[in-house]
DNA sequence: GTTGAAACGGATGCTGCCTCCGTATACGTT
DNA sequence: AACGTATACGGAGGCAGCATCCGTTTCAAC
């Protein structure tokens, strides 16, 4: 569309139409079958050929990143509410909860996110959203540390990893109780002693 | 071989030969390319047809379980040494370390292990080894709890999950430092307060 | 040797990935 | 309204991996 605008040509209508059809179908398929769902099936159900899918989204990750865009915005809006909280430890806890839900949106989502998180060169379209999440987490961590609620040795990245792996475990069908115990074990791990309930 | 022995017939020589060739080749491929490596390639390099591979090991998990057998025995022997320790918390720590190394043997190993751990009906050949690990972990946990070193709320299964996800994170290429911090965060989480260094 | 059971192995059909290029379409122009 | 062209479409096709089936081979017993 940039190229079009510069050359004074309106973008073709079918482009946008196909793009949104693909995104909607992909979201449904990711929800039902996880992120490893067949892209051919997505294309077919969206009513386009495989070539069209790959032109719009050259890799599975690109499609995934585009689909995640909506979820990311939800997360950001939720972030606004969290930042209003007085208690930094509570804010951190809620933020971690929100991230975990984000990671659990589709089956198999944690894997590509982890892969994207370590790459500094944004070779993946998921790297940027990941970095945003890590940075945000670190902000909450530092705030809670300043208030003396979180141990000094903890980094935002650590809790990003923790949330990601909890989501991974959840996606593998572990029961809710075990997850609760793990979550509170981690919380015990990062909270300062005298703050713990 | 049981059927053969019962019927008084010696097992065929090629059976055992092919089996060990497959196991050796599979181990090498799992090491180099992870557990999702091509089974066709394994068969070809072992010098047998795909049919032979699938007759010996009907599923990828069956092959994996057979390959893991050796590692499992190493782990068990290590267990013997660990159980000699006086300090239950130290024993637990070393056991968790040993499990993490076991889970990290091949890339992508944590996924099938997690999948096998939740299934009670042993629909997977990995279920039994997993259950052994969980039971063993629980033994260490209880011993440490009796000594007052580990919080009462902790279950062996929780720490099994924790070790598994640490191995998962490690396999996704995270740096050693972050892993160390995560490990100690978890340790802080399960240890009783007054024991912590 | 011969024989029969047991094991082999590769041809086969299938699904999914990704690319390439002839064709169709939408936009701007006349 | 018809045309010309840039742009996008879409499906055929090549490739890799999975898993099976069955004609052929191999082994052990006799």
Q: Name the residues contacting strand D (CB < 7 Å).
A: A 3-4, 7, 9, 11-12, 14-15, 18, 47-52, 55-56; B 8-14, 36-41, 49-51, 54, 58-60
Instruction: Assess A188–B contact: CB distance below 8 Å, yes or no.
Output: yes
List, as own/partner pairs, every contact residues B169-177 make where C-beta atoms lie below 8 angstroms and the sequence separation is at least 24, other chains included.
B169/A114, B169/A161, B169/A164, B169/A165, B170/B100, B170/B104, B171/B104, B171/B107, B171/B108, B171/B109, B171/B110, B172/A111, B172/A114, B172/A115, B172/A118, B173/A115, B173/A118, B174/A114, B174/A118, B174/A161, B175/A118
pLDDT tier at A16, thresholds 50, 70, 90: very high
CATH 1.10.357.10 residue window(s) in chain A: 68-197
Percent of chain A whose pLDDT exceeds 90 = 86
Mean pLDDT along residues A166-172? 97
Q: Is the pLDDT of residue A196 over 80?
A: no
CATH 1.10.10 residue window(s) in chain A: 1-58
d(CA A154, CA A188): 12
d(CA B110, CA A186): 20
**What's the DSSP call for residue B11?**
P
- Please tell me the predicted confidence (pLDDT) of residue B118: 84
- Please tell me the predicted confidence (pLDDT) of residue B1: 42
Instruction: Assess B188–A contact: CB distance below 8 Å, yes or no.
Output: yes
Q: Which tens digits make up the pLDDT trace of B45-84? A: 999 999 999 999 999 999 999 999 999 999 989 999 999 9
* Domain covering B1-58 in this structure, CATH number: 1.10.10.60
Q: Which tens digits make up the pLDDT trace of A125-138? A: 999 999 999 999 99
Residues of A in contact with B170 (CB under 8 A): none
CATH architecture classification, A68-197: Orthogonal Bundle (1.10)
Task: Name the residue closest to the C1' of C25 by its CA.
Answer: A14
Tokens of B184: 């100690």
Residue by residue, pLDDT tens for chain B (197 residues) are 444 555 678 899 999 999 999 999 999 999 999 999 999 999 999 999 999 999 999 999 999 999 999 999 999 899 999 999 999 999 999 999 999 999 999 999 999 999 999 877 778 999 999 999 999 999 999 999 999 999 999 999 999 999 999 999 999 999 999 999 999 999 999 998 765 55
Facing residue for A186 by CB, picked from B153, B181, B189: B189
Task: Choose from A137, A166, A172 for mutation: most chain B CBs within 10 A.
Answer: A172
Residues of A in contact with B187 (CB under 8 A): 189
Instruction: Assess B193–A contact: CB distance below 8 Å, yes or no.
Output: yes
- Please tell me the predicted confidence (pLDDT) of residue B9: 85
Residues of B in contact with A163 (CB under 8 A): none
| B69-195: CATH class | mainly alpha
Q: Is the pLDDT of residue A12 over 90?
A: yes
> Which of residues 35 through 64 in chain B touch A, CB cutoff 8 A?
none
The whole-chain average pLDDT of chain A stands at 93
């Amino acid at each position: 569309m940039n190229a079009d605008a510069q050359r004074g040509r309106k973008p073709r209508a079918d482009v946008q139409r196909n793009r949104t059809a693909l995104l909607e179908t992909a979201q449904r398929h990711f929800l039902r079958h996880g992120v490893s769902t067949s892209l051919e099936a997505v294309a077919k159900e969206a009513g386009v050929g495989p070539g069209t899918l790959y032109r719009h989204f050259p890799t599975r990750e690109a499609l995934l990143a585009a689909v995640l865009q909506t979820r990311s915005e939800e997360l950001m809006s939720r972030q606004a509410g969290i930042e209003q909280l007085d208690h930094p430890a509570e804010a951190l806890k809620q933020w971690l909860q929100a991230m975990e839900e984000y990671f659990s949106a589709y089956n198999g989502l944690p894997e590509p996110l982890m892969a994207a998180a370590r790459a500094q060169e944004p070779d993946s379209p998921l790297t940027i959203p990941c970095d945003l999440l890590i940075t945000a987490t670190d902000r909450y961590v530092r705030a809670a540390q300043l208030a003396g609620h979180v141990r000094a040795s903890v980094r935002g990245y650590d809790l990003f990893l923790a949330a990601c792996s909890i989501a991974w475990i959840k996606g593998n069908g572990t029961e809710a109780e075990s997850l609760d115990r793990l979550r509170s074990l981690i919380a015990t791990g990062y909270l300062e002693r005298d703050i713990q309930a």
